[in-house]
C-alpha cells in the first residue's frame, strides 16, 4: 500500500494530536496528585497550539497544491491551455505547423512534477517550437514508492505515445524518444531506463558479483526506442533529506513574495515550515523511499539501458548528485553498449528549469489575494538550458 507525502503528514499530525491529548489525560491516580487547575489549563493550551500548528502545516501544503492547480486553470481560461492537452493522463504539447518526428518524455521534480505544463512550460515549449518534437510530460503524485511512481509515468507515456502515433500516422519503431528528467524526475527516469528490455539486440544484465553479462531478453510489441537521456540535477536523497527540495522551492517563493503585491504573506511564510515539519515526521517514523538511494545506484550499475546519457549540473546546485550516477553508469557501460558524459554549466541553480508567472492571467479574487502577481524562475536561465537540451538532441 502506497502513501503520498501529503497523506503521511496528515497521519503524522493526527498521531501527534492523539499522543499529546493522551499525555494530558490524567489517570485516576494522577488526578489525586494533579497540580493546580491553572497549570492543567496551561498544558491544555499548549496541546491546542500544537494542534493548530499541525493543522496549519497540512492546510498550507494542500493550499500550495490547490494554488498551483488554480494557476493552471487560470492559464487555461486565459490562453486556452496554451496548446497543452490531456492524453491518457499525460500532458501533451505538439507542433502546430508540422507532424512531429520524435517525442520527449519529460518527468519533473518533486511537487512541481505534478504540474509540468505550468512549472516547466518555458523549457519544454522550445522542444516543440524549435525542434519539432512532441512533448509528453507525465505528472505524478509524490510518493514513498518511487518504483510505483516510475511505473505510473512509464505507463502513461506508453499509452499517450501510442495514441499520438496513431493520430499523427507515425511509425512506432521509427519514432525516437528522448527522455528528460529534473531532480527526482531523474531518479524516476533512471528506474525506467533500468526496466527497458525492449531492444532489438536484447538487454544484457550484469551479475552483481562478477560484473559479467548473464542474460538477454526479447523485443516487446509496445517497445519504446529511447535514444537518449538528458538528466538535469539528478537527486537521489533519502526521505528525510528530500524535504530540503520542498524547502528550497518554498524559500524561492518567499524571495519572490518580497516583490509581489497583494499576496497573503502568511501563506508564503508557512511554506518553509512545511519542509521542516515533513523532515521531522519522516525521521520520526523511520520512513524511506523504495528503492533506497543505494538500491537505485546498484540497479543502474546492473540494468541501465540507453545509447547515450548526459548528466547536467547547474553552477549553484547544492542538491545535485550527478557524480554518484555518473560513477554507476561508467561502470555499467564498461560491459554494456552505451555512453555517458557530464556537463557543468556556468549558470543557474537547482530550480533553473522551472519558470512560471501569474502575470497576464485572469486570477480569481481569492487566488490573487492568496498569491498575488509574481513570477518564479529565471527566463534567461531557462533559455540557456533549453539550448543545451537542443544541442544534445540534435547531436543524438
Specify whether the CB–CB gap between 102 and 134 falls below 8 A.
Answer: yes
Is residue 136 in a domain?
yes
Is residue 208 in a domain?
no
Is residue 5 in a domain?
no
Structural domain for 119, as ranges: 57-197+224-394
Is residue 362 in a domain?
yes
H or E element at residue 308: strand 308-313
Helical spans, DSSP H, in the chain: 5-23, 28-33, 37-79, 116-119, 121-131, 146-168, 184-193, 243-257, 265-285, 293-303, 322-332, 365-371, 379-394
Looking up residue 190, the CATH number of its domain turns out to be 3.40.50.1820
Is residue 23 in a domain?
no
Is residue 101 in a domain?
yes
Specify whether the CB–CB gap between 131 and 257 falls below 8 A.
Answer: no
Average pLDDT for the chain: 75
| pLDDT per residue as tens digits for the range 177-234 | 999 999 999 999 999 999 975 444 445 555 555 555 554 444 454 567 799 999 999 9
Which pLDDT does position 8 carry in this prediction? 46
Which pLDDT does position 196 carry in this prediction? 76
Is residue 50 in a domain?
no
Q: Which of 240, 182, 235 is nearest to 9 (CA)?
A: 240
Q: Which of 256, 250, 253 is nearest to 276 (CA)?
A: 250
How many structural domains is the chain composed of? 1
H or E element at residue 346: none
112 pLDDT band (50/70/90 cuts)?
Answer: confident
Is residue 356 in a domain?
yes
* Alpha-carbon 373 to chain mean position: 24
Amino acid at each position: 500500500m502506497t502513501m503520498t507525502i501529503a497523506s503521511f503528514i496528515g497521519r503524522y499530525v493526527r498521531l501527534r494530536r492523539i499522543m499529546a491529548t493522551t499525555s494530558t489525560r490524567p489517570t485516576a491516580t494522577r488526578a489525586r496528585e494533579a497540580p493546580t487547575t491553572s497549570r492543567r489549563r496551561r498544558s491544555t493550551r499548549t496541546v491546542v497550539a500544537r494542534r493548530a500548528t499541525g493543522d496549519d502545516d497540512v492546510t498550507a501544503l494542500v493550499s500550495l497544491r490547490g494554488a498551483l492547480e488554480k494557476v493552471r486553470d487560470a492559464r487555461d481560461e486565459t490562453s486556452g491551455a496554451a496548446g497543452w492537452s490531456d492524453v491518457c493522463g499525460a500532458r501533451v504539447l505538439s507542433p502546430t505547423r508540422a507532424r512531429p518526428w520524435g517525442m520527449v518524455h519529460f518527468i519533473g521534480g518533486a511537487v512541481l512534477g505534478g504540474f509540468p505544463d505550468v512549472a516547466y512550460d518555458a523549457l519544454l515549449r522550445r522542444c516543440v517550437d524549435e525542434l519539432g518534437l512532441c512533448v509528453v510530460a507525465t505528472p505524478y503524485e509524490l510518493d514513498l514508492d518511487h518504483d510505483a511512481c516510475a511505473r505510473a509515468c512509464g505507463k502513461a507515456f506508453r499509452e499517450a505515445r501510442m495514441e499520438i502515433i496513431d493520430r499523427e500516422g507515425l511509425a512506432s519503431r521509427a519514432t525516437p524518444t528522448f527522455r528528460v528528467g529534473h531532480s527526482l524526475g531523474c531518479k524516476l527516469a533512471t528506474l525506467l531506463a533500468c526496466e527497458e528490455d525492449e531492444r532489438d539486440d536484447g538487454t544484457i544484465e550484469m551479475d552483481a558479483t562478477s560484473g559479467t553479462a548473464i542474460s538477454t531478453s526479447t523485443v516487446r510489441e509496445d517497445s519504446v526506442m529511447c535514444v537518449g537521456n538528458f538528466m538535469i540535477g539528478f537527486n537521489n536523497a533519502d526521505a528525510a533529506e528530500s524535504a530540503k527540495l520542498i524547502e528550497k522551492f518554498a524559500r524561492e517563493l518567499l524571495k519572490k513574495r518580497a516583490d509581489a503585491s497583494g499576496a497573503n504573506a502568511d501563506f508564503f511564510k508557512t511554506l518553509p515550515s512545511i519542509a521542516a515539519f515533513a523532515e521531522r515526521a519522516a525521521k520520526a517514523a523511520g520512513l524511506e523511499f523504495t528503492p533506497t538511494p543505494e538500491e537505485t545506484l546498484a540497479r543502474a550499475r546492473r540494468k541501465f539501458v540507453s545509447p547515450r546519457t548526459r548528466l547536467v549540473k547547474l553552477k549553484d546546485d547544492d542538491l545535485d548528485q550527478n557524480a554518484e550516477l555518473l560513477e554507476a553508469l561508467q561502470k555499467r557501460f564498461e560491459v554494456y553498449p552505451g555512453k555517458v558524459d557530464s556537463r557543468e554549466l556556468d549558470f543557474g541553480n537547482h530550480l533553473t528549469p522551472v519558470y512560471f508567472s501569474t502575470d497576464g492571467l485572469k486570477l480569481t479574487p481569492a487566488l490573487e489575494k492568496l498569491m498575488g502577481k509574481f513570477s518564479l524562475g529565471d527566463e534567461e536561465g531557462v533559455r540557456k538550458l533549453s539550448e543545451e537540451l537542443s544541442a544534445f538532441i540534435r547531436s543524438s
